Amino acid sequence: MDKLIVSTSPHIKTKDSYKKIMWSVVLALIPTGIAGVFIFGISALKVIVIAVISSLLTEAFIQKLRNKKITIFDGSSFITGLLLAYNLPPKVPWWIPMIGSFFAIAIAKQAFGGLGHNIFNPALAGRAFLLASWPRYLTTWQYPRWHIDTLTTATPLGIVKEKIPLNLPSYGKLFIGDKAGCIGEVCILAILLGAIFLLYKGYIRWYTPFTFIFTVGLLSWIFMGEGLFKGDWLFYILSGGLFLGAFFMATDYVTTPLTKKGKFIFGFGCGILTFLIRKFGGYPEGVSYSILIMNAFTPLIDRYTKTKKFGYKK
Amino acid sequence: MFFNLKNTFYGGVHPPYYKDLTRFSPIEEIPPPKMVVLPLIQHTGAPCEPLVKPKDKVSLGEKIASSDKYISSPIHSSLSGKVLKIENFNHPTLGKALAIFIEKEETEEKFIEYPQKKPEELSPQELKEIIKEAGIVGLGGAGFPTHVKLSPPKPIDTLILNGAECEPYLTCDERLMCEKPEEILKGLEIICKITSPQKIFLGIEDNKKEAINIMKNSLHKLGLDKVKIVVLKTKYPQGGEKQLIKVITGREVPSGGLPFDVGVLVHNVGTAYAIYEAVYRGKPLYERVITVSGKAIKRKGNFKVRLGTLVSDIVEFCGGFLKEPKKIVFGGPMMGIAQWSLDTPIIKGTSGILFLTEEELNLEESGPCIRCGKCIEVCPMKIMPASIALASEYNRWEIAKNYNPLDCIECGACSYVCPTRRNLVQLIKMAKLNHG
């Protein structure tokens, strides 16, 4: 007999490792990617591939610089690359996803200490950086490829906000993705498929996404119409990046609160901020900024949402 | 609440149970070894002083060590033979401790049952004295002296017999319930006579169908209608004292408190059996039933072994190893203690020995906290393991303190679910040590 291992209990561990969870999230994001490529064509695929590869390479490069173990196959930087691409319009120049991924991984993730230590969602930080630096590329939208009109257009939220004389897509079209928008935000059906898989596996909880979408819907119904309680809430929740953000970015483990109560507060905060940006802000869409702002509040939320412990008077 | 909390508690995990490896093996006696090593401390409390010296002759069941401290429990010889020496030796929970070595004589002397008064004629005080003199401690693992537990400083109204056995692999309590149901219930009656509770429960997890049926029949046969069997949902740590009390009575043991603070007393089924043997047969605690399991050992099963038997003797009896064991654990895989040597004796609180292979252990390296919150979801004490561990990792004890690490029952559910394999229990234990 060789040496025996001595360590503290417990001596058995679940099979659900971190890598398994991360690759499951990648799997859950695949339908959305397929839908994006189907809707916008090969240019969308190009953006996705460049974003993912740059993300992986940046991670390896920085980890090498920091003399850390290279962990690019754990799935987490793959997700960052995917999510960044999903948050970009389909026809951006090739260097846009590259720089975005570099910023996301090098600055938003690794500069803070790598996995588990970043304050802001890396993909969204990357997108915010790109939007601030090259706003023109980030706000040039395409029709789905089956529309004969190949000219640029506006997103449904943009049409409403800027009062552009274009027809709004029907609810059905908004749901399946026959509209202009970012690669990964248009097909809500595909997003929901992935989300249901993650909810079923228990890898994400419904607390944040539900509260987020519900709050946006409620506030839109009250304030977004002509007069109170006349808003087209269904249009506002089906437009923009709400579903993608709510299910895949507001549920990111690292940058959101730990407890159930905290997750509800986070979702509620995201909902209010999204509504405020859409209603009063300079941009037609506010999902990504609202999540980034709430990321900054996460430590504070954590501090005030400790669990009710066993054996204390209620 | 969106889920049903009836007959279960908040949090918890469902590890693979592997109970089928041993649950159908009837209890078998391992022949007494050539030598036993009996540590002078096998319980929670003050260590014993030896009553014998080297070369003394001792007989089976003879008291060989005791203490005049109240929270302590005497130790009896588990062999008829000669005292070899009294020296420091490996101890399964303390590392090293003073122990009495006893060598077996050529012919093993049978233990003679004491002629005793009938149990019905004994007063509660006399019964308590018998239990104390028999060296009985809680056999579930903690090893708290039973006579102390039977004298609660506050009145109790509820008695719970714990047959949950929620630790994976272990089946010794289950076998005992299947094979010695009436003896356990007679032990329970003695506990009732001493503590006179109004309500009596027997809690068993619903994965032990056979044991539940047998106990039900025996209750009926003995006419013990007062005892209510509670079928508990199978979930770890259902057998944790505080969780069991919450499920059965709805009462929460206050932080830092003990079960008697809510008027409850909990005893393990194995302890009830030992009480029966002490009172009805005058037999002190010198042997116990343990589960031997794990994929590394050739013969798995439930065995009655003499206390002080070394692991190496048990390995020999079980035919050696099938595969190389990476870890040897005393107790269950969730809360048991890893051993570093085969020369370690079985003590009163040893409920099992597991010989675990690499495949069972999952020896992945631990990584950074990804704040997934799974540990918080499963913590049966509803504390925040992730937050304590993050503070503990950087020696920030004053921050760790805010998250009440002392409430942790060290059940291991958090470490079990952690996707980055963090040693949360260890980090919380460190926070406890530095709580100040």
| Closest C-alpha among A80, A65, A83 to residue A115 | A80
Task: Compute the distance between CA of residue B325 and CA of residue B303 in angstroms, rounded to an integer.
Answer: 20
Residue A13 within a domain: no
Question: Which residue on chain A is closest to B413 by alpha carbon?
Answer: A10
Task: Compute the distance between CA of residue B21 and CA of residue B333 in angstroms, rounded to an integer.
Answer: 14
Contact B390, B219 (CB under 8 A): no
Among B281, B304, B338, give the residue marking a domain's end: B281
Look-up: residue for tokens 């939007």? Answer: A131
Question: Which residue on chain A is closest to B243 by alpha carbon?
Answer: A310
Q: Does B341 sit within 8 Å of A4, measured CB to CB?
A: yes
Q: What string of pLDDT tens digits covers the 314 residues of chain A?
A: 668 999 999 999 999 999 999 999 999 999 999 999 999 999 999 999 999 999 999 999 999 999 999 999 999 999 999 999 999 999 999 999 999 999 999 999 999 999 999 999 999 999 999 999 999 999 999 889 888 766 778 899 999 988 888 889 999 999 999 999 999 999 999 999 999 999 999 999 999 999 999 999 999 999 999 889 999 999 999 999 999 999 999 999 999 999 999 999 999 999 999 999 999 998 889 999 999 999 999 999 999 998 888 888 75
Residue B82 within a domain: no
Q: What is the mean pLDDT of residues B416-423?
A: 96
The pLDDT score that the predictor gives to residue B2 is 40
10 Å Cβ neighbour count for B272? Answer: 27
The pLDDT score that the predictor gives to residue B3 is 44
DSSP characters for B217-275? HHHHHHT-TTEEEEEE---BTTTSHHHHHHHHH---PPTT--GGGGTEEEEEHHHHHHH
DSSP A74: G
Question: Which residue on chain B is closest to A313 by alpha carbon?
Answer: B254
Q: Does A8 sit within 8 Å of B255, measured CB to CB?
A: no
Residue A203 within a domain: yes
| Closest C-alpha among B322, B297, B323, B324 to residue B311 | B297
Residue A5 within a domain: no
Residue B267 within a domain: yes
CATH of the domain at A241: 1.10.3430
The tally of CA atoms less than 13 A away on the side-chain side of residue A257 is 26
Label residue B119 by pLDDT band (50, 70, 90). Answer: confident
How many domains does one find in chain B? 2
Residues 6 or more apart in contact with residue A313 via CB below 8 angstroms? B254
Q: What is the pLDDT of residues A264-301, one digit of tens each?
A: 999 999 999 999 999 999 888 999 999 999 999 999 99
Q: How far is CA A78 from CA A51, A182, A201, A280, in A?
A: 9, 18, 20, 35
Q: How far is CA A112 from CA A74, A101, A121, in A?
A: 18, 16, 12
Which residues constitute the domain of residue A99? 19-304
Q: Helix crossing, B269-281 with B172-179: angle to 10°?
A: 50
Contact B272, B165 (CB under 8 A): no
Question: For residue B290, what are the β-bridge partners?
Answer: B303
CATH of the domain at B175: 3.40.50.11540
Among B240, B257, B281, give the residue marking a domain's end: B281
How many domains does one find in chain A? 1
Residues 6 or more apart in contact with residue B220 via CB below 8 angstroms? none
Interface size between A and B, measured as CB pairs under 8 A: 162
Q: Kindly indicate whether the ipTM for this predicted assembly is greater than 0.90, answering yes or no.
A: yes
Task: Mark whether B271 and B414 lie in a shared domain.
Answer: no
Residue B167 within a domain: yes
Task: Mark whether B274 and B385 lie in a shared domain.
Answer: no
Q: Does B361 sit within 8 Å of A12, measured CB to CB?
A: yes
Chain B partners within 8 Å of A306 (Cβ): 384, 402-403
Tell me how close the Cα of B10 comes to any Cα of chain A, in angstroms: 9
Look-up: residue for tokens 């953006």? Answer: A47
Coil/strand/helix, residue B201: strand
Among B281, B302, B333, give the residue marking a domain's end: B281
Question: For residue B88, what are the β-bridge partners?
Answer: B98
Task: Mark whether B153 and B258 lie in a shared domain.
Answer: yes
Q: Nearest Cβ partner of A254 from B255, B329, B370? A: B370
Label residue B75 by pLDDT band (50, 70, 90). Answer: very high
Task: Compute the distance between CA of residue B112 and CA of residue B281 in angstroms, rounded to an integer.
Answer: 9
Q: Does A11 sit within 8 Å of B329, measured CB to CB?
A: yes
Tell me whether residue A5 is exposed, middle or buried, using C-beta atoms within 10 angstroms of its C-beta: 0 to 12, 13 to 18, 19 or more.
middle
Residue B227 within a domain: yes
Asked whether the CA dihedral A152, A157, A159, A161 is positive or negative, the reply is negative
Element holding A141 (H helix, E strand): none
Residue A38 within a domain: yes
Look-up: residue for tokens 């537990």? Answer: B149
Label residue B1 by pLDDT band (50, 70, 90). Answer: very low
Which of B2-6, B355-359, B395-399 has the lowest average pLDDT?
B2-6
> What dihedral do alpha carbons B248, B249, B252, B257 form, nearest 10°?
-100
Probe site for chain A from B312, B357, B370 (most A CB atoms < 10 A): B370
Task: Compute the distance between CA of residue B255 and CA of residue B356 in angstroms, rounded to an integer.
Answer: 35
pTM, rounded to two decimals: 0.93
Task: Mark whether B133 and B252 lie in a shared domain.
Answer: yes
Q: Does B257 sit within 8 Å of A311, measured CB to CB?
A: yes
Amino acid making up residue A80: T
Task: Compute the distance between CA of residue B297 and CA of residue B71 in angstroms, rounded to an integer.
Answer: 37
Chain A partners within 8 Å of B380 (Cβ): 310
Tell me whether residue B287 is exposed, middle or buried, using C-beta atoms within 10 angstroms of its C-beta: 0 to 12, 13 to 18, 19 or more.
buried
Kindly tell me if the per-residue pLDDT of B108 is higher than 90: no
Which residues constitute the domain of residue B205? 125-281
Contact B30, B303 (CB under 8 A): yes
The pLDDT score that the predictor gives to residue B114 is 65
Label residue B115 by pLDDT band (50, 70, 90). Answer: low
Q: Nearest Cβ partner of A309 from B337, B356, B383? A: B383
Residue B293 within a domain: no
Q: Residue B39: phi, psi to the nearest 5?
A: -60, 145
Question: Which residue on chain B is closest to A114 by alpha carbon?
Answer: B368
Q: What is the pLDDT of residues B83-95, one digit of tens each?
A: 999 999 999 999 9
Q: Nearest Cβ partner of A14 from B255, B328, B416? A: B416
The pLDDT score that the predictor gives to residue B140 is 83
Contact B79, B104 (CB under 8 A): yes
Q: Does B325 sit within 8 Å of A1, measured CB to CB?
A: yes
The pLDDT score that the predictor gives to residue B6 is 62
Chain B partners within 8 Å of A13 (Cβ): 361-362, 364, 415-416, 418, 421
Residue B315 within a domain: no
Chain A partners within 8 Å of B423 (Cβ): 7-8
